[in-house]
């Protein structure tokens, strides 16, 4: 069997080990060197061009069904739970807490829940309603497990590594948000980022009110492609007498996008985190679909 292996950046150092193991079983193995941002970003074109029989994608659970033989190896990580003791002082004023984590720590969620319950907390674990598959699981683009419990809890606790996942959940919830980071040994509330990102969003909207031309970003990635939305937004822009063009790439090179100087602003329809995390990579505003709709609303009001 010809197998293509795909690893996210944090696991690429494991590639040769897994390749040799499969080769010892008699398979022909090829390793993808392309970046991947999740199971929404499978190396399907590479696999088909190579006539691979299977794509093995490491580090993420299934995002949505694709018409190819894909095996997902989500990679469980056993983080040190002793840091939970450190979080109790931070949570002293909250009786009911919600728990969220990533797929790497889902197997530890019951133990985390049990710890807090033994220390007098009522614990709620939300159920996902988007691309995430497991209760309590969040993705960078899918925070349903957090949003579904926002009204039921006094605070939300994220257990896991990094800020990428909890930041997405923070911006779509309203309760105090505690990040328990076992790898850095840190325990901190991150609520201040809500106001920071709200101001940044308002700044982008105001900077786009005088824009007359918009470049709409569309990716060809399997789980992020949304040409239907791009066409809808293009139509809305043109209905108000402005210009719009649809810009297509697999992974956007923002230096190259910046060279398209005819556009006054850009609109993202790919991974929703692009309009949150990558705004500083362009000299002109990079809007989400919702931010564009607000721009169009303001323009319409000003025209009357």
- The Cα–Cα gap between 139 and 130 comes to 10
Q: What are the tens digits of pLDDT across the range 99-133? A: 999 999 999 999 999 999 999 999 999 988 878 88
Nearest C-alpha neighbor of 216 from the set 241, 239, 249, 240: 249
**Could you read off the pLDDT of 36-75 as tens digits, one per residue?**
988 999 999 999 999 999 999 999 888 888 999 999 998 8
pLDDT tens digits, residue range 161-186? Answer: 999 999 999 999 999 999 999 999 99
Fold of 195-303: Rossmann fold (3.40.50)
- For the domain spanning 2-73, the CATH number is 3.40.50.11840
The average confidence (pLDDT) of the chain is 95
At residue 266, the pLDDT reads 98
How many C-beta atoms lie closer than 10 Å to residue 166's C-beta?
29
Phi, psi of 44, deg, nearest 5: -70, -40
The average pLDDT across 27-37 equals 95
Residues 6+ apart with CB under 8 A from 46: 4, 32, 34, 52
DSSP assignment, residue 233? H
Which pair of structure tokens corresponds to residue 289? Answer: 């679909």
Q: What is the pLDDT of residue 189?
A: 98
Domain boundaries, the chain: 2-73, 83-190, 195-303
The two domains 83-190 and 195-303 share their CATH topology (first three levels equal)? yes
Rounded to a whole number of angstroms, the CA Rg of the chain reads 22
Q: What is the pTM (predicted TM-score) of this model?
A: 0.89
Q: Which helix (H) or strand (E) holds 248?
A: strand 243-249
Q: Which long-range contacts (CB under 8 A, 24 or more apart) does 75-80 make?
A: 75/11, 75/104, 76/104, 76/105, 76/106, 76/107, 77/104, 77/105, 77/161, 78/108, 79/105, 79/108, 79/159, 79/160, 79/161, 79/182, 79/183, 80/182
Q: What is the mean pLDDT of residues 293-297?
A: 97
pLDDT for the residue numbered 62? 87
* pLDDT for position 132: 81
Instruction: Sort 14 into a burial class: Cβ within 10 Å, 0-12 / 13-18 / 19+.
Output: middle
Q: Residue 40 and residue 61: Cα distance in Å, rounded?
A: 10
- Residue range 191-205, pLDDT digits in tens: 999 999 999 999 999
Distance CA 58, CA 72 (A): 6
DSSP code of residue 176? -
CB 236 within 8 A of CB 230: no
Q: Which of 50, 71, 120 has its CA nearest to residue 92?
A: 120
The 10s digit of each residue's pLDDT in 217-240 is 999 999 999 999 999 999 999 999
DSSP 10: G
Backbone φ, ψ for residue 81 (5° rounding): -85, -5
Token pair of 84 as six digits:
């939970």
**Cβ atoms 167, 139 nearer than 8 A:** no
Per CATH, the architecture of 83-190 is what? 3-Layer(aba) Sandwich (3.40)
């Amino acid at each position: 069997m010809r197998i293509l292996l795909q690893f996210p950046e944090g696991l690429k150092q494991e590639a040769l080990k897994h390749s040799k193991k499969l080769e010892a079983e008699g398979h022909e193995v090829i390793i993808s060197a392309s970046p991947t941002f999740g199971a929404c970003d499978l190396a399907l074109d590479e696999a088909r061009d190579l006539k691979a029989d299977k794509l093995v994608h490491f580090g993420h659970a299934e995002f949505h069904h694709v018409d190819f033989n894909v095996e997902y190896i989500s990679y469980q990580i056993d983080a040190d739970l002793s840091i939970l003791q450190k979080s109790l002082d931070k949570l002293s004023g909250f009786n009911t807490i919600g728990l969220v984590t990533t797929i790497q720590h889902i197997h530890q969620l019951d133990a985390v829940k049990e710890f807090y319950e033994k220390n007098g907390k009522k614990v709620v674990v939300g159920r996902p309603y988007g691309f995430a598959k497991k209760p309590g699981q969040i993705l960078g683009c899918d925070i349903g497990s957090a949003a579904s419990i926002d009204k039921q809890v006094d605070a939300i606790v994220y257990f896991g590594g990094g800020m990428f996942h909890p930041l997405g959940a923070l911006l779509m919830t309203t309760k105090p948000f505690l990040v328990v980071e076992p790898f850095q040994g840190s325990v901190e509330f991150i609520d201040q980022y809500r106001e920071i990102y709200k101001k940044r969003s308002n700044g982008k909207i105001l900077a786009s009110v005088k824009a007359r031309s918009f470049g709409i970003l569309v990716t060809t990635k399997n789980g992020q492609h949304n040409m239907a939305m791009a066409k809808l937004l293009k139509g809305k822009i043109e209905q108000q007498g402005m210009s719009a063009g649809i810009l297509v790439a697999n992974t956007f090179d923002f230096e190259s996008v910046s060279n398209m100087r005819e556009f006054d602003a850009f609109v993202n329809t790919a991974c929703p985190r692009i309009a949150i995390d990558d705004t500083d990579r362009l000299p002109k505003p990079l809007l989400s679909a919702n931010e564009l709709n607000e721009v169009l609303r303001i323009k319409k009001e000003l025209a009357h």
